[in-house]
């Protein structure tokens, strides 16, 4: 039981990083970002590419992934999403859905991932099938480090948003764009930074997952729905909500898949049931402040 709980926490930690990024984009900026899963894929691919070409450990190449995803995210927002945003939320959904298709198909080109599955494997890869035994509990080493990383990122993000000028500007631009402009905040630039930051978080999750999961162009779709569920579950725009939501989903899936007969085929159902219950009885989410 404890093992199942810990397994759930480990994967929940990764879900939390992905959801953190989306809570900034969807929760704060109200942009329905259908490309969020693709940024996880880009993170996985960047990590794979750097390891294959340069032999650099995936946890060290997080710095590069962060920059790559940040800039792609910033560009996507500034060049396209910001224009669609003016016409309403639904348009951001359509635009990012189209961008998602483009990103998946570009990634499937032979020069990048190609149509097959890739794996980050290698004799000199510390994380390959690495398990740590802590007090009788087995941990997937890369997910365990990912869990610690999630905690650090949550802390940093909270401080950033509350204590730094840029962070405050980001919140202001999202809450009251007109008032933010009036006080001199460059709203388009700050919004682009917010989107880029959200994308960067998704990319970091990709690095963490790259040694445990196969890497292929359309893998992002597996994370997209989960990410939206977590963001709504935890409360739109709430960082602790995204973190807790991710952990709750991870643990629920783990228990459901392990203990409910036939549960493995329906593991997604458990998280969605929790999601329905929260929407019924607490629609603002666990940490939301009211609809």
Partner 1 sequence: MIKKSALLLAAMIAVAASAPAAAADDVIKIGAVLPMTGNAAVFGEKFQQAYTMAVDEINAAGGVNGKKLQLVIEDSQEKPQIGKTATEKLVSDKAILVLTGGRSSGVTLVEAQVAEENKIPYLIDHGSSDLATRSGYEYVFRMNPTAGMYTNALQSYFDENKPANVVHINVDNAYGEAIYEYGLKDYMKNAGIDYSVIKYKAGELDLKPIMVRAKSSNPQVVIMTAGDDNDATQLMKAAKEADLSPELFVGTGAGHSIQGFATQAGALAETVLTAGPWHGDVSQDAFQKFHDGFTTTHGHEPGEHEVEGYTAIYVLADALSRTKKLDRDSVRDALAETDMNTIFGPVKFENFDGYTNQNRAITDVSQWIDGKMRTVFPKEAAQQELVKFKGWN
Binding site for partner 1 (CB under 8 A): 3-4, 7, 11, 108, 115-117, 119, 121, 128-129, 131, 138, 140, 212-214, 216, 218, 222, 253-254, 257-258, 262-265, 267
* Helix and strand counts by DSSP (H, E) for the chain: 12, 2
Please say which residue, 269 or 279, places its beta carbon nearer to partner 1.
269
Nearer to partner 1, 98 or 263 (CB): 263
Q: How far is the CB of 212 from partner 1 (least distance, A)?
A: 7
Q: Is the dihedral of CA 233, 207, 64, 78 positive or negative?
A: negative
Distance of CA 51 to the CA centre of its chain: 21
Burial of 164 (0-12, 13-18, 19+ CB in 10 A): exposed
Closest CB 172 distance from partner 1, rounded Å = 39
As a whole number of angstroms, the distance between CA 29 and CA 194 comes to 8
What does the angle CA 263 – CA 264 – CA 266 come to, to the nearest 5 degrees?
Answer: 65
103: its two tokens: 């990103």
Cα separation, 9 vs 3, in Å, equals 10
Nearer to partner 1, 116 or 281 (CB): 116
Which is closer to partner 1, CB of 88 or CB of 262? 262
Distance in Å, CB of 240 to partner 1, minimum: 24
Q: Which of 131/183 has CB closer to partner 1?
A: 131
CB of 140 to partner 1, least distance (A): 6
Nearer to partner 1 (CB atom), residue 12 or residue 27: 12
Give the tokens for residue 258. 């392990």
Provide the minimum distance between the beta carbon of 154 and partner 1 in the complex, in angstroms, as a whole number.
Answer: 22
Beta bridge partners of 103: none
């Amino acid at each position: 039981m404890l093992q199942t709980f810990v397994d759930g926490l480990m994967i929940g930690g990764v879900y939390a990083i992905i959801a953190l990024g989306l809570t900034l984009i969807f929760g704060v900026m109200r942009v329905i970002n259908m490309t969020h899963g693709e940024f996880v894929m880009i993170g996985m691919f960047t990590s794979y590419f750097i390891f294959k070409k340069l032999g650099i450990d995936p946890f060290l190449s997080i710095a590069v992934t962060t920059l790559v995803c940040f800039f792609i995210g910033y560009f996507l927002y500034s060049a396209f999403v910001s224009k669609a945003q003016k016409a309403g939320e639904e348009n951001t959904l359509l635009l990012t859905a189209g961008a998602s298709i483009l990103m998946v198909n570009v990634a499937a080109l032979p020069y990048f991932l190609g149509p097959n599955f890739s794996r980050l494997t290698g004799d000199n890869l510390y994380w390959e099938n690495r398990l740590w035994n802590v007090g009788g509990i087995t941990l997937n080493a890369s997910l365990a480090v990912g869990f610690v990383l999630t905690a650090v990122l949550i802390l940093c993000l909270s401080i950033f948003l509350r204590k730094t000028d840029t962070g405050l500007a980001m919140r202001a631009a999202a809450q009251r764009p007109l008032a933010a402009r009036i006080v001199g905040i460059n709203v388009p630039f700050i919004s682009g930074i917010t989107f880029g930051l959200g994308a960067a978080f998704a990319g970091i999750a990709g690095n963490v997952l790259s040694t445990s999961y196969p890497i292929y162009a359309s893998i992002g779709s597996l994370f997209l729905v989960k990410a939206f569920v977590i963001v709504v579950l935890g409360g739109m725009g709430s960082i602790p909500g995204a973190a807790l939501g991710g952990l709750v989903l991870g643990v629920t899936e783990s228990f459901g898949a392990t203990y409910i007969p036939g549960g493995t085929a329906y593991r997604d159902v458990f998280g969605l049931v929790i999601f329905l219950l929260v929407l019924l009885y607490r629609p603002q989410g666990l940490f939301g402040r009211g609809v």
